[in-house]
Amino acid sequence: MAVSILGMDEQSLGLTMRTPGQDELLILGYLHSEGIIDSIDHVTEVNATEDTITAHLTGDANFEPNEHVRRSTITSSCGICGKDSISNLLHVHGHPLSESFKVNQQDVSNAVTNLGKHQDAFKLTGGTHACARVLRGGIVIDAHEDIGRHNAMDKLIGNAVKFGQIPITEEMVVVSGRASFELVQKALRAGFPVFISVGAPSSLAVDMANEHGMTLISFAAETRMTVFSGSGRVEMPQSAGHTARP
């Protein structure tokens, strides 16, 4: 992936392994998650070939080569590979999160079930990750798959950037795997108030969600879920199968 800023030479952001297709969305989401762009207004053109993606940015885009250029391959399993330190991600802040958006256990159950209906590549290969934008009631309005969980999230957010739908305020994001620190950071940057994962969260993911007031729900399934942060957005009866953590 590479970027070109008006008045500057082209700079390489690094290499990434990805499932081919939707490369424009991939780089738009990546640039937004990295804090390089805030909206599609910072992008004048995206050129994609079979092996390269180049974005041309306006002069007021927040691109700092020393900060944003990766020093190694960005693998499909690592969202921070090539960064000097984790502090390079901690300083990226997103939009204020909605306090009015609420979910219940049925919403979460429906979200997980409906995400599965959008995992065509996984059904064929068993080797892809997926994430989706979901409304109250569990209605999926957009979903993307990729061999890399971070790429799937970047494609999802990139589609929202492309159509001027950032920040995303009254929705939840659901991911097919675990809740990693990097995915929570990307979701916070986009404005999601609620993050749902089928798998476990990392301790850093929980810390970041708590710090920024995001609702983090993990181990989500048809009849159970665990709320790790932001329980104020969860309308949850105190019964078996439901666990809330402060």
pTM, 2 dp: 0.86
Judge whether 191 and 153 are in contact, CB under 8 Å: no
246 closest CA partner among 216, 212, 202, 203: 216
The CA–CA distances, whole Å, from 139 to 91, 109, 119, 135 equal 32, 11, 15, 5
> Where in the sequence numbering do the catalytic residues fall?
78
pLDDT tens-digit readout, 37-49: 999 999 999 988 8
CATH 3.40.140.10 assigned to 103-244: yes
Radius of gyration of the chain (CA): 17
Element holding 44 (H helix, E strand): strand 43-48
Judge whether 134 and 173 are in contact, CB under 8 Å: yes
User: What is the domain partition of the chain in residue ranges?
Assistant: 2-90, 103-244
pLDDT tens-digit readout, 138-174: 999 999 999 999 999 999 999 999 999 999 999 999 9
